[in-house]
Amino acid sequence: MITKTIKKDFPVFDRKINNNPLVYLDNSATTQIPTKVINDWVDYYSFHKANVHRGVHKLSEESTDMYENSRLQVAKFLNISKNEVIFVKNATEGANLVAFSFIPKVLKKGDTIMLSEYEHHSNILPWTEIAKVLKLNIKIIPFTEDFKVDFDKLRKESFNFLAINHVSNFLGNVNDIKKVCEICNSKKAYSFIDGAQGISHLPTNLTNIGCDFYTFSGHKIYAPFGIGALFVKEYLLLKMGEFMYGGGMITQVSLSKASYVSGVEKYDAGTPNVGAAVSLASALKYFESKDKSEIFKHEEDVLGYLYEQLKSIKGIEVYGPPLSSRAGLVSFNLKGIHSHDVASVLDNYGIAVRSGNHCTMPAHKKLNVTASVRASIGIYNFKEDVDILVNAIGSAKKIFK
């Protein structure tokens, strides 16, 4: 069971914001970091820092082992092979890596990429930009009115590559990505899943899901900024070109030509962010130490309370699917009050939420909304946080009445 003592694992909750205890409800943007992860990062930089894969001295060997063990930890978390894990700085880089090193190798002029309107800009722009270069078609994944993929219509579509999120960072709708991937496989189309919002809220057994690519950012699951991972089915690595060039990903170099290593190390050009990779592994171990099923149950309870309490407020508009089809967050607006104004008032009470378009302009436009307030939960949120939020929203209504 997840109890309030978990807040003691996170030093940020020792802070006061405007003389109030911190109520952190901006987890879809980034999660906070437990002391254990911070300590493991400090330990690496204090006692083990050295370049990986290039030295025979003790520090280099230790650093290399820690880096590769971190890759193994990511693989275990996702139930995949260590040889299918590429370290990236975030999910954005993961999408760009696939767009610019894979798409040109497998798609040709006139082929089609399927995207949804409910994507983060990072899961739109790489595909639309490479489509311009290669003269590819872009189609929109059909959704039902209750924000579910319309599988009947999707089966009738012709496409070669599909990119979709596991969970929308604006609406919170959970996509049935296993079913999506089954349809892709039946069409011999490739599937890319943006797991940034799914990684900390839902099971991520990628062998069971059956996707070709899955990427996430570490800072969405209690790790530092600047590290994430990209899963690539091992056989697809053979189809992929290089992404960045430099030391660490070559076998031979002359002034006129070069040959490159195969596998995931091909994407380790330059000095990798070893300390962050170690921290990511530490964060995943921390997450698993709390029992994933207990975390998911706890968050489901808090999210349900958040959703129902917000829906009960007069003059509020909540966006997205019903509670049974969402994870992690609720986006809303108070009628007649700009989202930034609401967020500013909430900050006075020590409450951190997100306001704006959340890097989902097409999704906001689809719903005829310019901006919204987003409250998103994490492992350390409880129903009391929701009560504080609701009371502060009442104050915002009075101020802007």
pLDDT in tens, 219-237: 999 999 999 999 999 999 9
Q: What is the pLDDT of residue 306?
A: 98
Count of residues in the chain: 401
Quote the tokens at residue 265: 């190390």
Distances in Å between the alpha carbon of 32 and those of 4, 97, 308, 349? 15, 27, 25, 19
Comma-separated ranges of CATH 3.40.640.10 domains in the chain:
37-289
What is the CA angle 393-333-171, rounded to 5? 120
DSSP H or E segment with residue 62: helix 58-78
Q: What is the pLDDT of residues 6-65, one digit of tens each?
A: 999 999 999 999 999 999 999 999 999 999 999 999 999 999 999 998 778 999 999 999
Give domain 4-30+291-399's CATH number out of 3.90.1150.10, 3.50.40.10, 1.20.1530.20, 1.20.1260.10: 3.90.1150.10
The full DSSP string for 238-301 is TT---SS-STTSEEEE-SS-EEE--SGGGG--SS--HHHHHHHHHHHHHHHHT-HHHHHHHHHH
Report d(CA 267, CA 234) in Å as an integer: 14
Q: What is the pLDDT of residue 95?
A: 98
Q: Are 1 and 301 in contact (CB under 8 A)?
A: no
148 falls in which pLDDT band (50, 70, 90)?
very high
> Is the confidence at residue 401, as pLDDT, over 80?
no
> Is the confidence at residue 299, as pLDDT, over 90?
yes
**Contacts for 167 with CB less than 8 Å, ≥ 6 apart:** 173, 174, 175, 197, 198, 201, 202, 326, 327, 328
Q: Which of 250-254, 303-307, 395-399 has the highest mean pLDDT?
A: 303-307
Distances in Å between the alpha carbon of 51 and those of 33, 78, 231, 275, 401? 25, 27, 24, 11, 59
> Is the confidence at residue 314, as pLDDT, over 80?
yes
Of residues 174, 161, 169, 164, the one with CA closest to residue 134: 161
Comma-separated ranges of CATH 3.90.1150.10 domains in the chain:
4-30+291-399
Q: What is the pLDDT of residues 322-331, one digit of tens each?
A: 999 999 999 9
Task: Find where tokens 């890759």 sit.
Answer: 71
Residues with catalytic function: 359
- CATH topology (fold) of 37-289: Aspartate Aminotransferase; domain 2 (3.40.640)
Q: How many CA atoms lie within 13 A of 104 on its CB side?
A: 13
How high does pLDDT run on average in the chain? 96
